[in-house]
Amino acid sequence: MKDKWTAEDVPDQHGRVAVITGANTGLGFETAKALAVRGASVVLAVRDVDKGKQAAARIADAAPGADVTVRRLDLSSLDSVRAAADELRAGHPTIDLLINNAGVMYTPKRTTSDGFELQFGTNHLGHFALTGLLLEAMLPVRGSRVVTVSSVGHRIRSEIDFDDLQSERSYSRVAAYGRSKLANLLFTYELQRRLSGTGETIALAAHPGGANTDLGRNAPAIVRALATALGPLLAQSAAMGALPTLRAATDPKAQGGQYYGPDGFGQVKGNPTLVKSSGRSHDTAVQRRLWTVSEELTGVTFPV
């Protein structure tokens, strides 16, 4: 019996619409390509439209006849998120998959156009708002899923400090990233609880382990040096890193509230399997409080 889930296990996706953030490169690109190969209508929701068009052309080369479109989305701007959501709803009355993949990592201290700390604002608040604005197009769709990409970094210096959410008192690029990735999981679990009575849409999370992408370009120099030296031990290809997301998005056996990651030692490399997140990510009081604060900060409320 086969025990390793691969891209070959992605079921037929014809008739399904998949919106993927940050899909012009890395994990998002590999996720989009795999879904397009299986017949999905894929929307690359990206900040740089030109790079998105180049990615769409590469996907078309791999999947002749693929239905791939590009939409501009800058998750660090709530105005951009709202505009993108309006365009997506107009072009796609129903959406089967929303994959919240885009992210920034270890950036110097900066804020979004709305004044949020950049990593928290982009990785969590931008995706929170986008999901809330698109959810009505998903709720009637049988088998629809929201998949949010977290990280093993959600365990590292990741407490949600509600008294300093925007890191105004002190800033650590590592702690801010960990906080944003913990927020992705807190959001997923609370969303699933709210969806549990709808019967159609579910929410899941995934993480890629150590994937060879350009996400770590803002890491401190010593971290980049170690990653280069130990790359073969600590990282796998972007295509392998995308597999947990693909499994969460397409495996018929996947259930709401599940979390997928690599099956190797330390969840760094390997094929996708069910994994556990930190105990902190399952704190229901923090989940609910973060949800309320996120609604207040973004001005987006959910139809569930």
Burial group, residue 295, by CB count within 10 angstroms (0-12, 13-18, 19+): middle
Distance of CA 65 to the CA centre of its chain: 26
Q: Verify whether residue 171 is a known catalytic residue.
A: no
Measured between alpha carbons, how far is 189 from 82 in angstroms, rounded to an integer? 24
φ, ψ of residue 22 to 5 degrees: the values are 65, 40
Q: What is the dihedral of CA 244, 104, 178, 235, to 10 degrees?
A: 50
Kindly report the number of other CB atoms within 10 A of residue 299's CB atom: 11
Given 177, 189, 259, 260, which residue is catalytic?
A: 177
**Position of tokens 């698109």?**
134
Measured between alpha carbons, how far is 172 from 167 in angstroms, rounded to an integer? 8
Measured between alpha carbons, how far is 102 from 104 in angstroms, rounded to an integer? 7
List of E strands, the chain: 17-21, 41-46, 67-72, 97-100, 145-149, 202-206, 259-262, 272-274
213: left (phi over 0), alpha (psi -120 to 50) or beta: beta
Structure tokens at 265: 């030692």
Catalytic residues: 177
